[in-house]
Structure 1
Amino acid sequence: MNFPKEDEFIDYEGKKRHFTYQVNKTAIGCTVYATEKVENGYEFSGYSPTDPFDILGELRSKIKKRLSTKYLQEQNGEFSFSHDQAIGHISSGGVVIDGKFIPFDDLSNMMQTYEGFTFNLKITE
């Protein structure tokens, strides 16, 4: 199989982000993982019941879409949500948003600015 091992995408700041691909084949299909080549960076995945190439275009589109939106803003060394929402992934001890690791304590502090508001927590694969 001549599946790509790496890819490069441009984020919301014009910064190049480098990703590696890993294909996990099982009896019921295959999952393609795209992981940024930095510690605690972006992570994406896609599933195809037949062939990893079937999901590659969709996975690349997902990466481009996520990289085009900035969910965090930083002021005086502290992060806040720039759109009252965020998309990222859960990591050990925190979350990764915009390719930045946010410890759970810092995430809690960010959310305290919304005291009294309601929220919708949705965890997806």
Structure 2
Amino acid sequence: MNICDRCGSAHAKILLTKGTGQESLCIDCSNEMVSTELGVDLEEQPESIVLKDPKGITRYFKVEQKLFHMGIRLQAEEAIEYGYQFAIHGELDCDQKQLFQELADKVKDGLARQYIEQGIFPNDQAYQTIVDDELVGRIEYNENDPDVPLIIIDGKPYTWEEVGKMMTSYEGFQFHLKIF
């Protein structure tokens, strides 16, 4: 874990390269540096969002604000490994309270739909199937096999093999893969 060169925090996520030197910064110190450079202040926002998914499971999200030279990013990251992540971007002069509300709405909308249904056949064999012929998720690094990514869907990690197994019922169909 990197240590912030300015405040000593053990949560430095940003590495700045200046000439031949480098500086590790935590989000707070980075935001303070950019705020001073631009004369833009980040408004205080709630630090978390808590919502229930369609199965009634309570989901806890940590909200992080990041000030960039081109705008403001708010990110809600579920407090579990490979959980849900949502982000939204706004202009430097945006209404920051409205930006937070848009993030909260995006989290709510993202939790509202499940893309994989799990069940058990009458012979007690478990199965997973794609709901309404659509999958939405994100691609993550796979520590167990760096050559093949994990696919995070419904806040859970799936291997390419597991996604492929769910797609076998679509043999002969065409598909459209769009990365955004």
Q: Same fold by TM-score, threshold 0.5 exceeded?
A: yes
Aligned Cα RMSD in Å?
1.4
Q: Point out the more displaced range, 46-55 or 56-65.
A: 46-55
Q: Counterpart of 2:54? A: 12
Q: Counterpart of 1:55? A: 99
Paired residue type of 2:128: F
Aligned ranges 1:32-71 → 2 under 5 Å: 32-50=74-92, 51=94, 52-71=96-115
Q: Counterpart of 1:83? A: 132
Q: Decide whether the 8 Å contact of 1:46 with 1:55 is kept in 2.
A: yes
Q: Counterpart of 2:27? A: none
Q: Decide whether the 8 Å contact of 1:21 with 1:32 is kept in 2.
A: yes
What is the alpha-carbon distance in structure 2 between the residues aligned to residue 56 and residue 99 of structure 1?
Answer: 21
2:167 is paired with a residue whose SS is helix
Q: Which runs of 5+ in 2 are unaligned?
A: 1-42, 120-124, 142-148
Q: Which has the higher strand share?
A: 1
Q: Counterpart of 1:72? A: 116
Scaled by the length of structure 1, the TM-score of the pair is 0.90
Number of positions where the alignment pairs a residue of Structure 1 with one of Structure 2: 124
Structure with higher Rg: it is 2
Tell me by how many angstroms 1:86 deviates.
1.7
Scaled by the length of structure 2, the TM-score of the pair is 0.64
What is the alpha-carbon distance in structure 2 between the residues aligned to residue 55 and residue 77 of structure 1?
Answer: 41
Q: Decide whether the 8 Å contact of 1:48 with 1:54 is kept in 2.
A: no
Q: Counterpart of 1:24? A: 66
2:104 is paired with a residue whose SS is helix
What is the alpha-carbon distance in structure 1 between the residues aligned to residue 75 and residue 160 of structure 2?
Answer: 24
What is the alpha-carbon distance in structure 2 between the residues aligned to residue 123 and residue 58 of structure 1?
Answer: 22
Q: Which runs of 5+ in 1 are unaligned?
A: none
Paired residue type of 2:77: T
What is the alpha-carbon distance in structure 2 between the residues aligned to residue 121 and residue 91 of structure 1?
Answer: 16
Percent identity between the aligned chains? Answer: 28
